[in-house]
Amino acid sequence: MSDSASHHENNAAEVQRRRKDMPPNLWMQCPSCSKMVYKPKVEEKLNVCPECNYHFEISSHKRIEVTLDADSFDEHFAELSPLDPLEFRAVKAYKDRLTAAQSKTQLRDACVVGTGAIEGVPVVFGVSDSRFLRGSMGSVVGEKICRATELARDRRLPFIFISGSGGGARMDEGILSLMQMAKTSAALADFDRHRGLFISVLTNPTMGGAMASFAALGDLVLAEPKSLIGFAGPNVIRQTIKAEIPEGFQTSEFLLEHGFLDMIVDRDSLRATLGEFLRMFVPAA
């Protein structure tokens, strides 16, 4: 074997060795720009693509960590668990899907609510978790939102909810899920009559029954960049109306331009932005 061939073979072996020694899962593909991005860099930016600013979905626990003051969150109503009143079965039985989601997320359902503080201002805070059946709204999610609204009313605190309900209303529960739209809307109407402040933050994706009820009812409605927001998805709309829809339709940028949103806020600026609004609208103690 020539020296050149031997050198080439040694280099190839060294590359293979380095690949084997490299820790797994260091790179990930961004679904927005399709570039391979360095995962630790994405995590450093609070799970935001460093190339195109695409905001990845994050868990409810991470959302609490990056939005609320450190160690200020106290969860409420954690004991509520969903039932299967219809004994619903599609490809899988609903009760089996619930069990799998609970095991995966260590949550009882797709919503976490409680009290906390943002830049020192006490709030009632809630967040839906897209890992749990796409953050869909069933009877437990609706009940938690209503109880959180009542808690905010009784304690005279602002209510902030961050939505990521790509699943909309949870049809496995039938009418019991759909009625949560009216139920949460009525609870927020009562909160408004008591002059409560509700700030709704929309993330990617916020769709269906959640968007058609509580998520759209904020005194202030904020959104993360490039979020898909709407009722039916773009493909369903195209098939229904038999026409093309505008470029960027149902993105947060399109909705801001057309007056549906008050502001688009990057994830790393959300806590400071909420703190500014709270100091603006909440009387000092």
Residue at token pair 């057309």:
258
Does the residue 7 lie in any domain? Answer: no
Contacts of 36 (CB under 8 A, 6+ apart): 27, 28, 29, 30
Burial of 261 (0-12, 13-18, 19+ CB in 10 A): buried
DSSP label at residue 160 = E
- 3-state SS string over 68-98? CCCCCCEEECCCCCCCCCCCCECCCEHHHHH
The average pLDDT across 45-52 equals: 94
Distance (Å, rounded) from C-alpha 225 to C-alpha 247?
A: 16
Does the residue 39 lie in any domain? Answer: no
- What pLDDT score was predicted for residue 42? 94
Share of the chain above pLDDT 90, in %: 76
Q: What is the pLDDT of residues 204-240, one digit of tens each?
A: 999 989 999 999 999 999 999 999 999 887 788 888 8
Does the residue 92 lie in any domain? Answer: yes
pLDDT > 80? residue 285 = no
Residues 37, 30: contact at Cβ < 8 Å? yes
Residues 29, 36: contact at Cβ < 8 Å? yes
Full-model pTM: 0.87
Does the residue 146 lie in any domain? Answer: yes
> What type of residue sits at position 15?
V
Three-state SS for 123? strand
Does the residue 42 lie in any domain? Answer: no
Q: What is the pLDDT of residues 54-69, one digit of tens each?
A: 999 999 999 999 999 9
Task: Provide the domain limits for residue 206.
Answer: 58-281
Does the residue 14 lie in any domain? Answer: no
Of 57, 232, 213, 234, which Cα lies nearest the Cα of 128? Answer: 57
Q: What angle do CA 43, 47, 53 make, to 5 degrees?
A: 120
CATH of the domain at 251: 3.90.226.10
Contacts of 90 (CB under 8 A, 6+ apart): 172
Q: How many domains does the chain have?
A: 1
Does the residue 44 lie in any domain? Answer: no
